[in-house]
Amino acid sequence: MAYDPDNIFAKILRGDIPCKKVYEDDHVLAFFDIAPKTPMHVLVIPKGAYVSHDDFSANATDAEIAALTRAAGKIARDLGLAESGYRLIANAGENGGQEVPHYHVHILGGAYVGPMVSRR
């Protein structure tokens, strides 16, 4: 699947639409989800144009991959989630339920997140 430069997260990265930023570095932007599923719900995205975890894991540089993983851990700690616990989710493709085609990791916490999966 080719990267769509008009996806909503690409627009956030360009500053075309606003976000509530929680973290930024050379490779990563993180912001609060617009429709939080738990009291704390943050999206962590690479600045590079990667469609999904499949694309990111195959084509991102080691520096980009390390930056995203480190950032997710730091954000969770900085938001006070490390002690109480949290869940990381990366939905990929149709069966994964991915809606926005720019790779992102969800950080969910602030309350018990619930069962690991539910299937329709």
What does the binding site for ligand 5GP look like in residue numbers (CB under 6 A)?
A: 8, 19, 31, 33-35, 43, 91, 97-100
Closest CB to ligand 5GP among residues 57, 63: 57
5: phi then psi, degrees, rounded to nearest 5: -70, -5
Task: Give yes or no: 27 in active site.
Answer: no
CB of 17 to ligand 5GP, least distance (A): 6
Closest CB to ligand 5GP among residues 8, 113: 8
Contact 68, 29 (CB under 8 A): no
**Distance in angstroms (rounded) separating the CA atoms of residues 87 and 49:** 24
CB of 117 to ligand 5GP, least distance (A): 13
> 77 vs 5, 82, 110, CA distance in Å?
31, 5, 12
Annotated catalytic residue within 53, 102, 104, 106: 104
